[in-house]
Chain A
Amino acid sequence: MSVNSSVLLAATGIGKRFGGVQALTDVSFSIERGEIYGLIGPNGAGKTSLFNVLTGIYMPDSGNFTFDGAPLDRLKPNEVAERGIARTFQNIRLFQNLSALENVMIGRHIRTRAGVFGAIFRDRQTLAEEASIESRSYELLDYVGVANRANHLAKHLAYGDQRRLEIARALATEPKLLALDEPAAGMNATETKALKALLDDIRRDGTTILLIEHDMKLVMSICDRVLVLDYGKKIAEGSAAEVQRDPKVVAAYLGGEVTLNLRRA
């Protein structure tokens, strides 16, 4: 697969077992550059497990990923981030006692170089790098819309702002693929609408998005293609409209959006 291929991420035959539970079975899919790719399924379908396997938190038992033309085997989470996959967490994991700005500045870590010498002697190069980290981080805070909270501790931000801050922090690592784990969870309608606009902006600016989401309205309105998991297996893949009509998907969700969050909750 060449680097110029239109496929950014290809997964083949991913399997993962936890003790007696087969969390993922032979899951294959591919994400095109520049698209928003949805990952849905009932609770416990294996979505977050897939995320954790992709981002190196767990090792897959079988199968492999190809990312940006090169295999993504046996990498640690930090190496995955370095290769260009950044993620957010279902239960927000910000650096609680640091300011919003510092959170984003930490996201710049892998794209900057200063070491002990630079830190202590503050040579010209280090100072320039620090300045660029700070200005880039302000830009990103502004981009997601929490610039006015730059100096607040992350834990004191409103819930929706925390979700946005987590996205800004992920964007700071300059990802090719941004993997979002339920970014709209707990948001009201207005916040979700603003989130949709943000995701549209991110795609327009050239970052591919992998989106786990329970808010079907958001998924159906924004995703180019959707992968449906149930019991750790892929049951459908296609455009939002196709997937919605797929009888297997309808069966998995027991006939619709309303019951979808109730089942196996």
Chain B
Amino acid sequence: MNRPRAKSIPPKVWAGVVLLALALALLPFVAAFAGQAWVRILNFAMLYIMLALGLNIVVGFAGLLDLGYIAFYAVGAYVYALLASPHFGIHLPFWVILPLSAGIACAFGVLLGAPTLKLRGDYLAIVTLGFGEIIRIFLNNLNAPLNITNGPQGVNLIDPFRIGSFSFARPEVVLGVAFSGPQKYYYLLLLITIGVVVVNLRLQNSRLGRAWEAIREDEIAAKAMGINTRNIKLLAFAMGASFGGIAGAVFSATQQFVSPESFGLFESIIVLAMVVLGGMGNIPGVILGAILLTLLPEVLRYTMEPLQNALFGRVILDAETIRLLVFGIALVAIMLYRPAGLWPSAVRKRELEVKGGTA
């Protein structure tokens, strides 16, 4: 990859970065004009960015179709929920649980990946799908005989992120500016998301990232080049799972409530749709995909339902149904007409420029 060296960043790029930073810093206040609900939506968008980037390592980089990715999100969420709630009466601080969530999700990833990664791609898809369902069914049923997960009721009153007496869930006035709970979380999430994005960018442009892409392109050739495909694939699974675990823990803390319902097959598919729509393997594309598909149901809610009310006098199709239908259509249409996604990777673009230049 021809990435620019740190010393050669032109001033224009710096100006762009500063503007973007300013925009991101002001965003929660702009959103708050439309209501605190929109700040929460922003927070969700960032959770989905983390999830989609994690899945992108597995699907986009290494080319392994994982249909049960949400299981790792669930593991991360429940690890946090059980270690920071009155359910067991344990209240560990979040910076202890966050790595724990990542680690345990990672262990689950290895547990699933080790025996199954030698399977052909389509078998892997169905096994991961089964695994996702197994985790959900266990979460649903591990309330008897020993109550571990509290079953379908889920875990309530989960601790918010807290540093000393500074809780992210409470509204607060800092330096004369009033911050709501979701706004405080926004900045924390932004920090974690930027961290996740940077880690992903660096992974892609590394020896390991190239090895993943080699496996995606041609596994036999990758082996012939000396790449230990089994280990490298397992690593992709483990890394993807860790990001899922981190996102899950953050989800637990922001929602302060988890239940098995949040971790169904459709959540896995939604995250997959984000990766596919934006552009498998391309980090900015995946981020775009996550943002678009998080906003989509809100947009539909605010447009389709009033529209139907105006036209037919009642809501015939609720936004949720339309959303899933749009996801389905998007998956098919993107694969048929734009397999590289809405935002194809830089190599392709560079290539197009080179071609245009010489023609």
Contacts and interface: CB of A to CB of B under 8 A. Distances in A.
Interface of A: 55, 57, 76-78, 81-82, 86-87, 89, 93-99, 101-102, 105-110, 112, 114-116, 118-120, 122, 126, 129-130, 133, 151-153, 156, 169-170, 173
Contact of A98 (B202, B207, B213, B224): B213
B307 interface: no
Contact of B217 (A95, A108, A129): A95
A119 B200 CA distance: 9
Interface of B: 1-2, 199, 202-203, 206-211, 213-214, 217-218, 220-229, 235, 239, 347-348, 350-351, 354
Given A98-B213, A116-B235, A122-B202, A151 B223 contact: no
Most buried by A among B202, B217, B226, B347: B226
B224 A55 contact: yes
A118 B199 CA distance: 11
Contact of B207 (A86, A89, A109): A109
B324 to A, nearest CB: 30
Given A76-B223, A78-B226, A102-B347, 7 more contacts: A76-B228, A78-B223, A94-B218, A99-B347, A101-B2, A151-B347, A151-B354
Contacts of B199: 120
B43 to A, nearest CB: 25
Nearest to B340: A97
10 contacts: A78-B225, A78-B226, A93-B221, A96-B217, A101-B2, A102-B1, A102-B213, A106-B211, A115-B208, A116-B208
A151 B350 contact: yes
Contact of B225 (A99, A119, A169): A169
B351 A153 contact: yes
Sorted nearest first, the 7 A-B pairs with minimum C-beta distance are: A81-B226, A110-B226, A119-B206, A95-B217, A93-B221, A77-B223, A106-B214
A152 B351 CA distance: 6
Contacts of B208: 114-116, 119
A254 B348 CA distance: 49
Contacts of B206: 114, 118-119, 126, 130
A93 B227 CA distance: 15
A55 B223 CA distance: 10
B238 to A, nearest CB: 9
Given A93-B218, A96-B218, A119-B208, A107 B225 contact: yes
Contact of A109 (B1, B202, B211): B211
B227 A119 contact: no
A120 B350 contact: no
Given A81-B226, A102-B213, A107-B225, A57 B351 contact: no
Contacts of B1: 102
B218 A78 contact: no
A112 B206 CA distance: 11
B168 to A, nearest CB: 26
A73 B211 CA distance: 25
B351 A109 contact: no
Contacts of B224: 55, 57, 77-78, 81, 86-87, 89, 93
Contacts of A89: 221, 224
Given A106-B222, A156-B351, A173-B226, A114 B214 contact: no
